[in-house]
Each structure stands twice: as structure tokens, then as C-alpha cells.
Amino acid sequence: MLNLIDRALKSPLAQVLTWPHRAETYLEFLAPRVGGTAIKASIKAAHQETDRAVSLVLEPNHRWSAHVPGQYVPFTVAINGRRYTRCFTISGVEAGCPVVTIQAHDGGIVSRWANETVWSGDIVELGAPAGDFVLPADRSAPFLFIAGGSGITPVRALVDQLVAEGHAGKVDILYYVPSSPEAIFLGHLKQIEATCPNVKLHLVVTRGKETGSLSGHFSEAHLKATGCDISAARAFVCGPTGLISAVENHWSNAGQYERLTLERFQAVTLPVVVDGGEGQPIRFADSAVTSTAPANRTILDTAEAAGLTPNTGCRQGICRTCTCRKLAGQVRDIRTGELSGDGEEDIAICVSVPVTPVTIEL
Ligand code: FES
């Protein structure tokens, strides 16, 4: 039915009748979730998970397509007249609707909006689900999931998938939180543990000690507590950079790196070396503004410092919201250290530092 509406709105007759605006513009105004060409969703419900984390149940329009458990979705919301895009994991599905779980953090504009001011019926825009943090086709190996803080969100999706499939193999969840009240989905995971003898939750508190929990940061002792043989298990890790680095090092030193799947929540901060150690001039062609980027400053930061307002989202090179056309010049990707070519191409300006004078279509 909605595809028919789409076709009708795009018909020449509809475009003539609604001139000077597109027919879709009127529908977007009258029915914000359905109108337009984007994947939109209304907030159907919000469930408080902890003092600082909330799950939002999203009711998307007909343009939404199914996701694979473990994937994330680009999520755009207008706050005080400005659009912000972030990527959030789809932590589950409730009555056919995708759910994202968002933990508030200081200075997090979208995460604080979700936890403090969201209203039922608010409209958000979604991108297509993406990400490779998904279960392998071969599920014969034991699974070890390691999560820190809100890194539990994709882990929950994967564990729920295994439980729904009736998976009988060994599943261990090593979950790091400052203290147990901050553990998202704790009740849900304990319930799974109580009903599925093959699933074991190992809660680790990183601040102080709690009865019945392990304590401290990732260590060999915690791995031993799970009883997992990392040369046999498929391991997944998601969480803050410190946890991921510790796990990566451990698996790498053990020669088992290929058995590890990881998902970062924070950008890796790489030491960036700018040729000559000097800032480079950036010409923002559409705005007729030229500004010199201080050494090691991204093009996005430089644009904002010059008073421009490019679209931004994750600011970590994940969501591609900030993508701009580079017309000339060479940039370095701060995540990988890779140099671009010196011709025209699309770049994510939030993770690009100029190494020669550059011209950006902005
Ligand atoms: S803001 Fe997300 S990739 Fe740049």
C-alpha cells in the first residue's frame, strides 16, 4: 500500500498539482513518520535500564528493512534545531520493533536527549543497519562474549539470538561494569542464566569489590574463571578502548587473534604526524572561506572553528554523516594513518587531517 503511495507521489500529475514543492513534502508535513524518502521511526516506548541507560523502542516506517542481530543503526535526531547522527546497536526487537539502548555520558548531546528529554511519538531518522559484529554461520565452537559498559548492547542481541535458536553449546559472558547497579540488562542476563544451563554470566566490577562478582580490569584470572579455552572458543569483545586493547593484546600474544571479533565504541586515538609539522590551509569552496588547520586538527574541527556548520554524527569515522567531496589536496586518516590521493574523492572530514593545502566542497 505504502509503495503505491510512493509511486503516486512521484507521478508527474502529483508533481504538477503540488508545485512549487514536491508532493512528498506535504505528506512529510502531515505524517512525519511516513512522509519523505528517509527511513523514519517514532519512539514507541522508552524503558529505563539503569540510572543512565534507556532502551528506546522504535516504530519505523515501511522503508525499514530487517537487521542482523549485532548490527548498529545510524540514528539522527533534531535537537534544538540541529541534526545529530550517532550509531547505536540494535539491542533487541520488541513486538516486531527494533530497540536501541543508549547510555548517557557527560557531554553526549544525543545520549542525554535519549535519557532525559525523549518523548513518546518523537520522530527520528534511521540509516540502513550495518556492521559485522554478528554470529558466524558455523556455531559449533564455544562462545565467549566480553563486554564493557554499554558494550553489552550488541552482546545481548547475539546471546538472545543463540537462546532463540535453542543453541546448546557453551556460552560465557564476561561483563565489566564499575558497579552492579550500572550493569545494563542484568536482570535479563540473569534470567537467561537461570533458564539456560549452558549460558554463564561472569559479572566483573571495576570499582571496589562486590560479593558474587569478580573484580578489577581484564586479566588472565577472569578468563580462567570462565573456563574458556581461547584456542577453541569464538570470542567477541565490545566496549571501551582500554578493554578492547587489553583483549586484543591477549589474543594476539596467544596467536589466536583470528578467533576474535571486536566492535569499538570509541575511536582509536592515533598519533598523527603531519608532514612538516605545520598546519595546512583548507579552502572551503562553497562557503568561500579559507582557514589554516592547526597541525593535527581535523578538517571538521577546522571548519567549525571557522564558523561553518557541516553535518556531523559520530565524529569517529563510523556514520559517514560528515562525508564531503575533497576537490584537491592530500589528507591523512587519523584512524589508520593512511594517506589519500591528491585528487577528487569523498572523505569523512571528522577523521581527516590535511597534509597539503586542500580544497573541500563545503
Ligand atoms: S561524523 Fe560520523 S563519520 Fe564523520
ipTM: 0.99
Domain 143-264 CATH class label: alpha beta
Domain ranges of the chain: 38-126, 143-264, 275-361
- The domain made up of 38-126 has a fold known as Elongation Factor Tu (Ef-tu); domain 3 (2.40.30)
Assigned C-alpha cell, 295: 597541525
pLDDT value, residue 86? 84
Instruction: Chunk the chain into consecutive blocks of 10 residues (it has 362) and report each block's average pLDDT, rounded to whole numbers.
Output: 59 65 56 67 96 97 92 89 85 96 90 93 90 95 97 97 97 98 98 98 96 96 96 96 94 96 64 55 95 85 90 76 93 88 94 94 96
pLDDT value, residue 275? 47
Q: H or E segment at 327?
A: strand 323-328
d(CA 149, CA 303): 33
pLDDT value, residue 18? 63
Ligand 1 interacting residues, C-beta cut-off 6 A? 312-315, 317-322, 348, 350
Domain 275-361 CATH class label: alpha beta
Q: How far, in Å, from the CA of 358 to the mean position of ligand 1?
A: 19
pLDDT value, residue 112? 94
Q: How far, in Å, from the CA of 93 to the mean position of ligand 1?
A: 26
Contact (CB, 8 A) for 199 and 159: yes
Query: In a mutational test of the pocket of ligand 1, which residue from 315, 346, 352 has the highest number of ligand atoms less than 8 Å from its CB?
Result: 315
Q: Tell me which residue of 272, 170, 154, 155 sits closest to 229, measured CA to CA.
A: 170
Can you tell me which atom of ligand 1 is nearest the CA of 323? 4
What are the residues facing 261 on neighbouring strands?
A: 236
Q: How far, in Å, from the CA of 298 to the mean position of ligand 1?
A: 12
Q: How far, in Å, from the CA of 304 to the mean position of ligand 1?
A: 14
Can you tell me which atom of ligand 1 is nearest the CA of 300? 4
pLDDT value, residue 16? 65
